[in-house]
Amino acid sequence: MGTFDKAMTEELNLLLKFPSDSLMQGLKIHHDASQAMVDAAQSLHSKGLVTQPDGGYLTDLGIDVADHARKVYSALLRKLN
């Protein structure tokens, strides 16, 4: 097992931007977005997680991965008491 590289981190961050309350909402990466975000969207598309190279909607696989990403994010935010 390795570590998350910069490109993976960008992909995870982009997945977290997709609305979790509605599958009928997607994202559009605009021309003025950072190159890292554009690259992340294209990579997620090539991996079959989003429907368009500039965002679109999450695929079934994308929904699952985004859900896991939210759980990891939430777990890492927890403070130990």
pLDDT tens string 16-40? 999 888 778 899 999 899 999 999 9
Distance, in Å, from the CA atom of 58 to the CA atom of 60, rounded to the nearest integer, reads 7
Q: Residue 22: which residues within 8 A CB-CB, separation 6 or more?
A: none
pTM of the full structure:
0.89
3-class secondary-structure state, position 48: coil
User: How high is the mean pLDDT of the chain?
Assistant: 92
* Helices marked H in the chain: 6-17, 35-46, 60-77
